[in-house]
Amino acid sequence: MLSRVASSLYWMSRYIERSDGMLRMLKINYASSQDTIQTFTWEPVIRIFAGLRDDHEIAALGNDSRSVLKYMVLDRENPNSILNIITLARENARGVQELISKDLWQCLNEYYHTVRSPGIAFMLEKDDPITALDTLIKQGMLYYGTLEITMERGEGRGFINIGKFLERGIQSVDILDTKFGSIDDNPNLLTDTSYWKHLLLSLGGYEIYLKTYRQGFEAENVLEQVVLNNDFPRSVIYSVNHIQRYFDRLKHESNMPEFRDLSFLIGRLQSSIKYSSVKSIRQDGLHDYLTNIRSELFKIGDALNQHYFAYS
Amino acid sequence: MQESAYFSSYTPTPNTWDEMFGADAQIRDHYQKVIRYLGNESIEELNKKEDLAKRLFMSQGITFTVYNSGEGIEKIFPFDIIPRIITGDEWAFVEKGIKQRLEVLNLFLKDVYSNQFIIKDGIVPADIIYSCPHFLREMHNVKVPYDIYVHVAGIDLIRDYDGTFYVLEDNLRTPSGVSYMLENREITKRLFPDLLPQCGVRSVTEYPNILYKNLLSLSPRQIPNPTIVLLSPGIYNSAYFEHTTLARLMGVELVEGRDLVVDNHKVYMKTTTGLQQVDVIYRRVDDEFLDPLVFNPSSVLGVAGIMGAYRKGNVAIVNAIGNGVADDKAIYTYVPEMIRYYLNEEPILKNVPTYQLGNPDEAEYVFGNLNKMVVKRTNGSGGYGMLMGHAATQQEMDEYKAEIIKNPRDFIAQPTISLSAAPCYMQGQLTPRRIDLRPYALVGPDGIEIVPGGLTRVALREGSLVVNSSQGGGSKDTWVLI
């Protein structure tokens, strides 16, 4: 497979995964903003997804749900808006059209036209934003289904899946870090059940939590589920296991040294998560623990870029 | 004859061959079935079909991008839902004519890049060839597989007032549009269920298979699975959709210049598992940009050193490099003479009479009759830089004349030919619009094959004679009947 093609597939997949996570987050947060008597704060969502680190910029966006949604979904100036990342996903797919199935291309193409349609803007600004977000989420699900049914198994799908799980792992780490970070400023949140409930809902882990833990919402249980639960598809360990699984299939005689290099990085990260527990995470400090995982995931991305995608 | 309401305002253009109406205002036999089918559809249904066609083009990404104020706007190439129909007899004639012409053009290219008998025998003047910017000395004595230079050709045909076919131009470099031939047919299948088999329309789906078979036969390495790639300038090229369609239909890799590298006179592509040797390149990048070491040094679309690999015979390139000398509009004038010279046959398809402005006598005649002429640049394409004498103002003519005098070799003139007309569906009515025809011919070691069909381009503006998509043209599905 061409290096350029592998790189495009990987990025297409990362962008779609990012948009999916973001849309679900926006939907749950919007719903929760309708369910509170205090001022709802959008700051964590903006911090996680808009790539804004500067407090002034975040403050400038304010807490008006409609304008935040518009900024996050449709703003052309926001490099991480849904509109911009779907455009990027489609541009990547466009460059590899002969490799992905025709159905998949059409699906992304329709997603792109949907995001840009006046109907979505109208619903976000004036009508029901949930309908708009649901429409977009559904386009993403169509993509996943089409990919599953029509995409040839092999190297290409390997890179698509590595991109997907890398993005997902990074997202889960970011969400946890931000959400637990807020507790330092406001310790009351630690016992606020609706705070944890919304975190789980936005990760699609609410039902699995109810089935696993019977004694209500507790921070430690949430942490355990989102980092260490092997059966929760958005947990950090699940993502890393899948990166490992799809990377193993890329083994090829002609580039063994590069393969070993990356395999080492992935294996090291996998063990460090596998052999940790809520208790040990608490001892190390959650923030440091998550920061380390994030930087290891970034290293894997860099190594892929260097060994598999580079044009040299 | 008033079989359908859509005709109430259909007035055939005077002095023009109408593809649907005969001289006595009767619908020609081959259009009968379609007209009857349309007669049973209401305006609402036809409008719905028109919408469906637009939606299908859009959702499949069959679009080109217009860059305006920093943001790309996606547009579809206008499509008219009424097919253009060609009878089996007309097609047999066209097919024979194109085969004859292509055989000769290939012979000419081989000759002009080796012994140059045609110059020595005084058939084509040396200065016309040597002054052509597409005549590449780098190609002299390069041996190409099976002596085939033109593998893919899109020869543009038009019909005069009496229905005679004329060759308007030979496109022998990187002719485009074939994906529209294929996609227009797919759309028609959706718009008019059952109509195609009822009318006995011949299929065009074999095109990518024939092209693939030909590419395969050119591999310099005799190995079971040679690597064939389609070289595209990338996603910003206006024909990018076509490149992806062809790559997908043939199952070959779509590459860009930056994916390829030349080492020791061999071409490789950069893959996730190291370098892989490339045997055949179907390139959609112009000669000029193909190799920065030999041609345009600032090109980033090409591959440094590819010309060296080609000269060594380590890679096959389709179409061959340097074909521009054979489809130059000044050399076009000599094609009938070439046919007589190489084959000792009379040309089947006629040339449009053409005046060389490099020739003082002919130039004087053209300047005296500029309002009846179409003047073109010999190396232009896409309908740019043309002067349509009948529609130009005195000032435009004067300015153009000044341009010509600077460099007369670069211009030719042709009398205005009034392109045939075909019915188009516009705002609930059928109205005649001018059309041309570009069939796609494939040349391989087994001979010349032309899929029965082609691209019919339409001048959508009333009265316009320019069908180029860059000048407000659209297209139609093209039916060849059995």
Residues A65 and A187 in one domain: no
pLDDT at B75: 78
DSSP 3-state of A55? helix
Alpha carbon distance B165, B185 (integer Å): 23
Question: A267: distance to nearest CA of chain B, Å?
Answer: 21
Q: What are phi and psi of B63, to 5 degrees?
A: -135, 165
- Tokens 């009878």 correspond to B87
Interface test with A, best of B238, B273, B278 (most A CBs within 10 A): B273
Alpha carbon distance B31, B20 (integer Å): 6
Name which of B473, B440, B470, B465 is nearest B455 in CA terms: B440
Residues A108 and A174 in one domain: no
C-alpha dihedral sign at B120, B122, B127, B131: negative
ipTM of the prediction: 0.75
pLDDT at A98: 83
Question: A2: distance to nearest CA of chain B, Å?
Answer: 4
Please list, residue by residue across B117-154, b when 16 or more beta carbons sit within 10 angstroms of its beta carbon and e when fewer do: ebbeeebbeeebbebbebbbeebeebebbeebbbbbbb
Residues A284 and A295 in one domain: yes
- Residue numbers in A near B255 (CB within 8 A): 2
Residue percentage of chain A with pLDDT more than 70: 99
Residues A114 and A162 in one domain: no
In a domain, B375, yes or no: yes
Strand partners, B441: B153, B450
Smallest Cβ–Cβ distance between A3 and the set B230, B244, B271 belongs to: B271
CA-based radius of gyration for chain A? 20
Residues A165 and A148 in one domain: no
Q: Is B248 part of the contact surface with chain A (CB cutoff 8 Å)? A: yes
* One pLDDT digit (tens) per residue for chain B, 482 residues: 344 567 767 888 888 899 998 877 788 999 999 988 988 888 899 999 999 999 888 888 787 766 655 566 777 889 999 999 999 999 999 999 999 999 999 999 999 999 999 999 999 999 999 989 999 999 999 999 999 999 999 999 999 988 999 999 999 999 999 999 999 999 999 999 999 999 999 999 999 999 999 999 999 999 989 999 999 998 888 888 899 999 999 999 999 999 999 999 999 999 988 899 999 999 999 999 999 999 999 988 999 999 999 999 999 999 999 999 999 988 999 999 999 999 999 999 999 999 988 888 888 898 888 888 888 888 766 666 788 888 888 888 888 888 888 888 888 899 888 899 999 998 888 899 999 999 999 999 999 999 999 999 999 888 888 887 767 789 999 999 99
Name the domain count of chain A. 2
Residues A237 and A128 in one domain: no
Q: Is B61 part of the contact surface with chain A (CB cutoff 8 Å)? A: yes
pLDDT at B2: 43
Are B61 and A311 a contacting pair at CB < 8 A? no
Are B258 and A4 a contacting pair at CB < 8 A? yes
In a domain, B38, yes or no: no
User: Closest chain B residue to A312 measured between Cα atoms?
Assistant: B270
- Distant-in-sequence, close-in-space partners of B35: CB < 8 Å, separation ≥ 6: B3, B4, B20, B27
Instruction: Report which of residues A195 and B422 the model is more confident about.
Output: B422
Instruction: Give B257's DSSP letter.
Output: G
User: Closest chain B residue to A98 measured between Cα atoms?
Assistant: B248
User: Closest chain B residue to A252 measured between Cα atoms?
Assistant: B273
- Residue numbers in B near A308 (CB within 8 A): 272
**Lowest-pLDDT choice from A132-136, A172-176, A214-218, B54-58:** A214-218
Residues A126 and A197 in one domain: no
Q: Is B73 part of the contact surface with chain A (CB cutoff 8 Å)? A: no
Q: Is B380 part of the contact surface with chain A (CB cutoff 8 Å)? A: no
- Given a cut of 90, whether residue A290 has pLDDT beyond it is yes
CB burial of residue A56 (10 Å; 0-12, 13-18, 19+): exposed
Alpha carbon distance B145, B162 (integer Å): 41
DSSP 3-state of B458? strand
Q: Is B273 part of the contact surface with chain A (CB cutoff 8 Å)? A: yes
Smallest Cβ–Cβ distance between B244 and the set A98, A110, A309 belongs to: A98
Q: What are phi and psi of B362, to 5 degrees?
A: -65, -35
CA-angle at B166, arms to B165 and B170, nearest 5°: 130
Residue B405's domain comprises: 353-415
pLDDT tens digits, residue range A210-251? 989 988 888 889 999 999 999 999 999 999 999 999 999 988
Structure tokens, A311: 């044009």
pLDDT at B424: 93
- Residue B135: HSE in the Cβ half-sphere, 13 Å Cα cutoff: 21
Whether the CB-CB separation of B49 and B191 falls below 8 Å is answered with yes
Which of the listed residues A120, A152, A184 is the one where a domain comes to its end? A152
Q: Is B268 part of the contact surface with chain A (CB cutoff 8 Å)? A: no
Question: A100: distance to nearest CA of chain B, Å?
Answer: 9
Residues A144 and A20 in one domain: yes
In a domain, B70, yes or no: no
A74 pLDDT band, cuts 50/70/90, is very high
Which of the listed residues A118, A152, A186 is the one where a domain comes to its end? A152
Question: A307: distance to nearest CA of chain B, Å?
Answer: 8
Name the domain count of chain B. 1
- Residue numbers in B near A102 (CB within 8 A): 60, 248
Alpha carbon distance B296, B285 (integer Å): 12
Smallest Cβ–Cβ distance between A252 and the set B71, B234, B273 belongs to: B273
Q: What is the CATH number of the domain that holds B397?
A: 3.30.1490.270
- Residue numbers in B near A155 (CB within 8 A): 272
Interface test with A, best of B272, B281, B300 (most A CBs within 10 A): B272
Q: The pTM is what?
A: 0.86
Name which of B199, A128, B214, A81 is nearest A120 in CA terms: A128
CB atoms within 10 A of CB A195: 19
Whether the CB-CB separation of B431 and B459 falls below 8 Å is answered with no
- Residue numbers in A near B259 (CB within 8 A): 2-4, 311
Which of the listed residues A152, A182, A198 is the one where a domain comes to its end? A152
Residue A235's domain comprises: 153-312
Q: How many helices (H) and strands (E) does chain B have?
A: 16, 23
CB atoms within 10 A of CB B191: 19
- Residue numbers in B near A94 (CB within 8 A): 61, 235, 240, 244
DSSP 3-state of B432? strand
Alpha carbon distance B11, B31 (integer Å): 16
pLDDT at A23: 96
Residues A128 and A273 in one domain: no
Are A4 and B240 a contacting pair at CB < 8 A? no
Residues A212 and A262 in one domain: yes
